[in-house]
Structure 1
């Protein structure tokens, strides 16, 4: 089926406008309550795992309550695990008896009930489907994660699984449950380019408007949009395709009774705003219990997020990303026709006055969405250095909870200084994704503008994966050159941030002090030489492959 560029853009529009979705990991693995990889982790034999189905009876499941929760939380679509890696179908599959209707005392099809309820409440129903990993089936073959305790790899015949289970079940999902928003495939290790394309075409032929995520394949260019690595938030403009971050409320995806490490509502709202300001979607996960209940801790957080979104929906849905190429210390920016929205993080927002550098167009009016009260503004321009500033007088108390959103109504077409410029705090942040990369020299280079001269601490920003030895993977020589000044340093883990705008489990943000430089008012070029310099990733799940990821250089004024 030939899909034109115009068709692709129109098919994606509802999803790009939605910004926020509910991910649901639910299956037999809710019974042992050790997460969705429980079968693999314990090497549970298929015959033993099948016995769980006889105990699975989620009589407290309510499609109406689940969909209503998603809607109240401000979510526009719902993605549920129709089949995860354990091979158990959470729908009435005709091609495999290992499903919730035929193999359990529940004998109901929750997918059918969710489809009906999503139609009633105006939520897009979408399916997660594990198309390559299937530990229950003797012929499923993945590059790494196979059931080798029941089956021999050399005896596997992949196309028996592919043609008798995977494709027929995808067809069932797309022909029996009405319009489906997207198919969320996962973990495609080893799948050929031909078979990847076959799955994409199967979906589009059955439902031309149904989207396919990039995890359908490890071959670049597959799918309609980019699925980031689990919990990954990219830097500004890191992705050329529309993208989405799948994120958990705690650390597990499926229900895990011992995982009580819940993200705070404040942190989730920060992450949501950060993601939307970069042009992405947040797909936020819950793991229901074996009884069919979404855990109370998840529900409480979703309701609190929904309260905040309800007050600030204008600055979230159908918005465009920030026109600036970097994060701000105080929050984030989204835009819509004739308006710029400043999302002020209460924890990091300056007192008394907010200064936005680089906004060139005239602001007619400024006010908070929470109360509509006009705010006093002042715009100025310094010809020396070509520097624009907008100053906004802030009230003694911000009007919302966690994040207060300010609307700027513009008198002119939106125009900003797209260069790396010094902000009001004095900091200059240079993201690796915007550098000129010379891989032969292992060098990243940026141009940036200094408005307020002085002495600056040069700080290296890395994301380090949990359990990684810094000395082995991060502690190697780095060379910085700027304005005739040279720093040659082996970075240390000087600061490990507990809260980071763009970094979260299984990574942590590490800041390393490389030394100090002096700069006057001018435009400069900074180069960084390091074997951690990489081109930006071109396809999915690179995130999970690297022990330490270089993200940015920051120049922080020394007071």
Structure 2
């Protein structure tokens, strides 16, 4: 791993847990962030949401406190989504929050609030734009006007759009202090790589913010032994956890981050109450860490600027688990051991963390670990646990065992045993 790359991504590889925030005009129709595309809404049909956007309860300090209480170390918020609406005060467009009833630079408030809580700050920026006149519309597979004959012969100057897009990225990396993550979304078909003047864009970004960490959605092959300059610093699987982590063609692990929704939508959807449990979130986070990755967990605030109460309660419960078990997450990665039947392993140096999801029957076995464990304790309270071979397990001399009393695990979400290796 190159020294500059290793240093730039060090905090990212140690943080492991972040908050994704999808918020914009689409919170008003509350049918998800793709509502313009899915319903083929014209600019005029979408305009009323711009004219009424007034999130009177927006308080990013509360969001930041919630993220911190949940154990998150960084956040990424939508500065501009595919609909082209900007939550920041861009000088390059009137299609922005400062020209709505909100009348404020909502990104500046977000950046300041999350910095105050000691969290790293990231910005999401869509390289797609359904509002800009010079972005391809007719025939594009996702543009709201893809089938509208009125756009069939409409002349566009894509270079002018690219100037606009590059200019907005420059604004975001110039006007808001240090930005830790730039999360681009997304390349598709032939709209990828140098179609975005990607090398030029990345070089400009690095000149402004040398330490910024960039995702892989400008295009390119991040898994290549010698990836393109614009291929990004980390892979970004969406709505799934990779089976075995992510490595390059040479077999070396690369940083990655799974972006996952708490319910079934990224943007606010009033009818979607299909929320994941705190147990699911914790175990998903642990699975990511056990494979050398991060979890970026999404919330979608409503039109008034409020994170749904279901999401708040889930994150608070996750935070209670993190308060007791964070050492098994931060700074940890994959262990050089196969996945155990009862859960997952994470590791940081000579500390091996056994995440027990399943109580099972009889003692808990650590395969191949006999004589390799110096001491064991419950991470949550520090209680000592004896590592020994019980009478019924003498036929398994290579394995180490602990015996937990009771029919249930001490923590039904995830009981963590810290094993100090000899």
TM-score (norm 2): 0.90
Q: Which runs of 4+ in 1 moved over 4 A?
A: none
Tell me whether 142-151 or 47-56 shows the greater mean CA deviation.
142-151
Aligned to 1:107, which of 103, 106, 116? 103
Report if the CA contact (8 A) 2:246-2:254 is conserved: no
Partner of 2:334: 321
The answer as to whether partners of 2:257 and 2:296 remain within 8 angstroms in 1 is yes
Residue aligning to 1:339: 351
Deviations 1:48-83 (A, max 9, x none): 212211111001000110111111110010100000
Question: Is the contact made by 1:371 and 1:399 (CA closer than 8 Å) also made in structure 2?
Answer: no
- Distance in 2 between residues matched to 1:277 and 1:153, nearest whole Å: 52
**In 1, Cα distance between the equivalents of 2:267 and 2:136?**
23
The match for 1:399 is 410
Gaps in structure 2 of 5+ consecutive residues? 248-252
Question: What is the CA-CA distance between 1:390 and the residue it aligns to?
Answer: 1.3
What whole-Å deviation, never above 9, does each CA across 1:95-124 have from its counterpart, x for those lacking one?
01000002x111011111111112211011
**1:456 corresponds to:** none
User: In the alignment, does 2:241 pair up with 1:233?
Assistant: yes
Equivalent residues of 1:23, 1:286 under 8 A apart: yes
Q: Encode CA deviations 1:278-317: one digit per residue, 9 max, x unaligned.
A: 1100000000000000000111101100110110011110
CA contact (8 A) 1:236 1:327 kept: no
1:140-539 map, 5 Å: 140-141=135-136, 144-146=141-143, 147-148=145-146, 149=148, 151-152=151-152, 155-163=155-163, 165-189=164-188, 190-194=190-194, 195-220=197-222, 221=227, 222-228=231-237, 230-239=238-247, 240-324=253-337, 326-345=338-357, 348-359=358-369, 362-378=372-388, 388-396=398-406, 397-411=408-422
Unmatched runs of 5 consecutive residues or more in structure 1: 412-559
Higher helix proportion: 2
Alignment of 1:26 onto 2:23 = yes
Aligned mate of 2:69, from 67, 72, 93: 72
* Structure ranking higher in strand proportion: 1
Which of 59, 62, 70 is 2:59 aligned to?
Answer: 62
Distance 1:210 1:253, change over 3 A: same
**1:10 aligned onto 2:7:** yes
Contact in 2 for aligned 1:288/1:294 (Cα 8 Å): yes
Deviation digits for residues 131-167 of structure 1 (CA, Å, limit 9, x no counterpart) = 1x2111122238632233363376332211111x211
Q: Distance in 2 between matches of 1:121 and 1:15?
A: 17
Would the aligned equivalents of 1:25 and 1:285 in 2 still touch at CA under 8 Å?
Answer: yes
How far did 1:360 drift?
6.3
**TM-fit CA distance, 1:219:** 4.4
Corresponding residue SS for 2:151: coil
CA, structure 1 residues 196+388, in 2 after alignment: closer, same or farther (shift >3 Å)?
farther
Alpha-carbon shift at residue 218 of structure 1 (Å): 4.5
Cα offset, 1:191, TM superposition: 3.3
Is the 2:354–2:416 contact (alpha carbons within 8 Å) kept by the matching residues of 1? yes
- For residues 308 and 245 of structure 2, the distance between their equivalents in structure 1, rounded to whole angstroms, comes to 35
CA distance 1:29–1:218, shift in 2 (3 Å): farther
Deviation at 1:335, TM superposition (A): 0.9
Aligned 8 A contact 1:361 1:410 in 2: no
1:47 deviates by 1.7
Structure with more relative contact order (C-alpha pairs < 8 Å, separation 6 or more): 2
How many pairs were matched up?
397
Q: Tell me what 2:250 maps to.
A: none
TM-score with structure 1 length normalisation? 0.68
Separation in 2 of the partners of 1:355 and 1:386?
Answer: 10
The answer (yes or no) to whether the contact 2:266–2:299 under 8 Å persists in 1 is yes
Contact 1:357 1:387 (8 Å CA) reproduced: no
Q: Which has the larger radius of gyration?
A: 1
Asked whether the equivalents of residues 16 and 318 of structure 1 are also in contact (C-alpha less than 8 Å), the reply is yes
Instruction: Give 1:5 deviation, angstroms.
Output: 1.8
**TM-aligned CA deviation for residue 212 of structure 1:** 0.6
Q: 1:250 to 1:369 in 2, by over 3 A?
A: same
Contact 2:193 2:218 in 1 (8 A): no
Gap change, CA 1:120 and 1:92, over 3 Å in 2: same
User: Separation in 2 of the partners of 1:31 and 1:159?
Assistant: 32
- Cα deviation, residue 378, structure 1: 2.5
Deviation per CA, 1:180-229, whole angstroms, max 9, x where unpaired?
A: 0110011212235332222222221210011110112154430011111x
**Alpha-carbon distance between aligned partners in 2 of 1:217 and 1:275, rounded to the nearest angstrom:** 23
Q: Is contact 2:36-2:83 (8 Å) kept?
A: yes
- Name the structure 1 match of 2:94: 97
Q: Secondary structure at the match of 1:174?
A: helix
Report the secondary structure of 1:377's partner residue. Answer: coil
Aligned-residue RMSD, C-alpha? 2.0
Deviation at 1:237, TM superposition (A): 4.0
For residue 60 of structure 1, give the secondary structure of its aligned residue in structure 2. coil
2:80 aligned to which of 67, 74, 83: 83
CA 1:218–1:36: 2 relative to 1, 3 Å: farther
What secondary structure, in the 3-state scheme, does the structure 1 residue paired with 2:257 have? strand
Q: Classify 1:154/1:298 alpha carbon distance in 2 versus 1 (closer, same or farther; 3 Å).
A: same
